[in-house]
Amino acid sequence: MKLSVCVLSLCCLVLVAAIPAPGEEGLQGLLTELKDEVAGIEEQLEVAMEKQDLAEAEEDLLVKIEDFEPELKKRGTGGMRVKKFHSVGK
């Protein structure tokens, strides 16, 4: 009799330990949602940094083109015109 009561008590204890607390599922869902948000923000930040790098590279190229324009005019490039591009992000 004592053995069956012990086994029954042990089974109940195992079941109680296996059932998550009511708020735990909500917290797990919230944690997953937060991780997804962080991943999305990191991706947006990476895209923004790439755009900034491209804009800076474009500015550098435009400065170099402007530096070469007098040389091109001296050489008489036959009316060669250099089109200036404007960054989309500006």
Domain total for the chain?
A: 1
Identify whether the C-beta of residue 59 lies closer than 8 Å to the C-beta of residue 81.
no
19 has pLDDT over 60? yes
Q: Taking residues 73-90, what's their average pLDDT?
A: 57
Tell me, yes or no, whether 52 lies in a domain: yes
Which pTM was predicted? 0.47
Report the distance separating Cα 51 and Cα 87, nearest Å. Answer: 9
Tell me, yes or no, whether 87 lies in a domain: yes
Mean pLDDT, rounded, of the chain? 78
Tell me, yes or no, whether 17 lies in a domain: no
* Domain range for 85: 34-90
Report the distance separating Cα 75 and Cα 57, nearest Å. Answer: 27
Identify whether the C-beta of residue 85 lies closer than 8 Å to the C-beta of residue 55.
no
